[in-house]
Amino acid sequence: MKTFKLKSLEIIDDKDDNIIQHEITLIDGLIINREDDYNRWVIEAFMSHDNLEYFQRLRSQKEEVMVQVTISKESNPPATFLTSIIGINEIGAHMNVLFMGTIVDQQKGIIKDMLRHLIDQGYQGESLLEKFKELI
């Protein structure tokens, strides 16, 4: 296993036909490459207790949560993971959220999902291209 410092965390959500990124303010965090047969990673995000209701609601509404994280240095490009929330723990005035998931090919995965979503909305041809550029 390899452990890295978690520098940033964003929850990527699809709401009302829009892709929304919720930036979570971290106090601290770790990301662990389990190096198992399933290529799973564990993400621990330590944050203010103010986020408790948001993450409880997210856990109850979604089986899979897409997150984007920055690892080790803020200047590193973000990595995207498809995760499940496996734990929410209250720790005094703070809390932590534990995610387990797999890394996705950021460029291909996000672009593919975004294009699929736009096509499902009925965009095609030039209007598809224009809407895609708008979202990028």
The CATH number linked to 83 is 2.30.110.10
Q: Does residue 106 carry a pLDDT above 60? A: no
Claim to verify: residue 42 and residue 93 sit in the same structural domain: yes
Claim to verify: residue 71 and residue 15 sit in the same structural domain: yes
Claim to verify: residue 53 and residue 19 sit in the same structural domain: yes
Nearest to 21 by CA among 9, 31, 13: 13
Q: What is the pTM of this model?
A: 0.75
Domain that holds residue 72: 2-104
Claim to verify: residue 114 and residue 81 sit in the same structural domain: no
Claim to verify: residue 48 and residue 115 sit in the same structural domain: no
Claim to verify: residue 12 and residue 29 sit in the same structural domain: yes
Claim to verify: residue 84 and residue 131 sit in the same structural domain: no
- Tell me the pLDDT tens digit for each residue of 39-83: 899 999 999 999 999 999 999 998 899 999 999 998 998 898 999
Claim to verify: residue 120 and residue 110 sit in the same structural domain: yes
- Element (H or E) spanning 7, and its range? strand 2-15
- Tell me the pLDDT tens digit for each residue of 121-133: 888 877 877 777 7
85 close to 99: Cβ distance less than 8 angstroms: yes
Nearest to 11 by CA among 101, 73, 91, 117: 101
Q: How many domains does the chain have?
A: 2
